[in-house]
Amino acid sequence: MTPPAASDASALPAALPTRSTAEWRALDAAHALHPFTDYKALAAEGSRIITRADGVYLWDSEGTRILDGMAGLWCVNAGYGRRELVDAAARQMTALPYYNLFFKTATPPAIELARKLVELTPAGLNHVFFTNSGSEANDTVIRMVRQYWALEDQPERRVIIGRHNGYHGSTVAATAMGGMGAMRRQGGLPLPDFEHIREPNRLRYGPDQSPEDFGRAAAGWLEEAIQAIGPGRVAAFIGEPIQGAGGLIVPPPGYWAEIQRICANHGILLIADEVICGFGRTGRWFGSQTFDIRPDIMTLAKGLSSGYLPIAAVMVGDRVSRTLIDKGGEFIHGFTYSGHPTACAVALENISILEREGLVDRVREDIGPFLMERLEGLRDHPLVGEVRGKGLMAGVELIRDKDQHSFFAPVGRVGTRCRDHCFSNNVVIRAVEDTMVMAPPLIITRDQIETMVDTLARALDRTQRDLP
């Protein structure tokens, strides 16, 4: 019997055995239950095994180079292959690989990172609670917000209002707070005290309105919900500055200003989920700065460490922290790895890279506008209903018939087809239902953007030819 062909394993750590792609696929299918995956489909098709990465490129186990137009899961902002981050981790692991922040202990990396995050985020967010993932950060917010209102002698304020198709993570509570219909239907969710309003998706809900009129109308849905629930029961409103996983929904002009006004009017806390928008994605450090939002609480993850290690954070504004500190006693909440020193050291070095290389300004002034300009060129394609985005975060929504304003059914089938055409041409572009989504590393060059957009254009042509 001839042995299976060896795969491209040149970059694997020595501890891993060398296997063929077929062997990896078989083992993967036999043992791994992947996140957000149809297991039967995966077993039938097998996974593409990713073995190494550099800059904006991934390589699979066959040695094929793939342009990562999604920066992993919207997280590798500084790009792959950053030696500085490896060195920062090694230095910290040598000095102190682990200690925690429980029971009145602290570590220098966690202290320094907290200080740096306070410096970068909008004024008034002066305290940080560390977690390991965006989901945990948002879970923490739920407990913190309820604790805040209990300490303020208004324990009946428990309802958190989110938005349809808002994504805040995959723990039980974060799923309940999020507005992803299919997720909430599994596992006996939703939970009580989470309500949702429509997201400000003009293509769906207000195509005949001006962006300004639609922005006012969409924010008005929050006022209606508050009145229906009862203002005295509402604890907080949560939203992503730009809704990411829910279809790349860019807020219309005036939307966030009106949301801010409504929250202030009712004394409701405003929470910005910056897990995707943070760390330069929209062309400012945070989406809240891009859209002039002044949140009481902000959650961060992903770009905080460019995904090199898991770390996330809750930025807490003075209104909430004062109550927690002055009236709170013990906040009975935390994770073994909250403020993990190695993850904090990597996050600090990652922020320093973004600063040193001016990557955030580059997104705002150069490469973000270039991506949008190139995508605008697809607007006349018969499948393209809308092109939208900000910074290096863009979506191209597909539509069945532009004149009749009709969408594809079942939703997502055509988008998935288009995504598969991109992937088989070695470019990662994600399909959120029928919206093609891009969020590449912030270091992407103009040439690489041309490649990404040209590949999408060809995939759109092929998808159109595939339509029945």
| Contacts with ligand PLP, residue ranges (CB under 6 A) | 73, 133-135, 138, 167-169, 240, 244-245, 273, 275-276, 301
- Nearest CB to ligand PLP, comparing residues 7 and 201: 201
CB of 110 to ligand PLP, least distance (A): 19
Interacting residues of 324 by C-beta distance below 8 A, sequence separation 6+: 144, 147, 148, 151, 316, 331
What is the C-alpha to C-alpha distance for residues 399 and 195, in angstroms, rounded to an integer? Answer: 29
Shortest distance, CB of residue 409 to ligand PLP, whole angstroms? 26
Minimum CB–partner distance for residue 138 and ligand PLP (Å): 6
CB atoms within 10 A of CB 404: 8
Instruction: Give least dist CB 181 to ligand PLP, A.
Output: 16
Please check whether residue 406 is in contact with residue 385, taking contact to mean a CB–CB distance below 8 angstroms. Answer: no
Give the chain's radius of gyration (CA, Å): 22
CB nearer ligand PLP, residue 133 or residue 201: 133
Residue 188 Ramachandran class (φ > 0 left, ψ -120 to 50 alpha, else beta): left
240 or 386: CB nearest ligand PLP: 240
392's CB contacts (< 8 A; 6+ apart) are 280, 281, 283, 363, 367, 368, 371, 438, 439, 440, 442, 444
Between 304 and 427, name the residue whose CB sits nearer to ligand PLP: 304
Q: How far is the CB of 219 from ligand PLP (least distance, A)?
A: 20
Rounded Cα distance, 252 and 316, in Å:
27
In the bound complex, what is the minimum distance in angstroms from residue 174's beta carbon to ligand PLP? 7
Q: How far is the CB of 135 from ligand PLP (least distance, A)?
A: 3
Helices (H) and strands (E) in the chain, counts: 18, 15
- Of 53 and 301, CB closest to ligand PLP: 301
User: In the complex with ligand PLP, which residue's Cβ is closer, 283 or 303?
Assistant: 303
Which residue's CB comes closest to ligand PLP?
Answer: 134
Question: Which C-beta is closer to ligand PLP: that of 273 or that of 296?
Answer: 273
Going by C-alpha positions, the residue among 103, 102, 142 that lies closest to residue 340 is: 102
**C-alpha span between 108 and 158 (Å, rounded):** 36
What is the rounded CA–CA span in Å between residue 350 and residue 129? 19
Shortest CB 338 distance to ligand PLP, Å: 14
Quote the least distance from Cβ 49 to ligand PLP, whole Å. 22
CA 365/CA 129 separation, integer angstroms: 32
4 vs 7: CA distance, rounded Å: 9
What does DSSP say about strands 125-131 and 65-68: parallel, antiparallel, or unpaired?
A: unpaired
The smaller minimum CB distance to ligand PLP, of residues 69 and 206, is found at 69
Of the pair 275, 418, the CB lying nearest ligand PLP is at: 275
Contact between 6 and 18 under an 8 Å Cβ cutoff? The reply is: yes
Q: Which tokens is 164 given?
A: 């349809």
Query: Which of 272/360 has CB closer to ligand PLP?
Result: 272
Which amino acid is present at 109? P
Identity of the residue, 308 or 408, whose beta carbon is nearer to ligand PLP in the bound complex: 308
- The nearest distance, CB 72 to ligand PLP, in angstroms, is 10
Please, are residues 306 and 86 in contact by the beta-carbon 8 Å criterion? no
Report the Cα 323 to chain-centroid distance in Å. Answer: 29
Q: What minimum distance in Å lies between the beta carbon of 35 and ligand PLP?
A: 9
User: Quick one: which of 167, 164, 168 has its CA closest to 197?
Assistant: 164
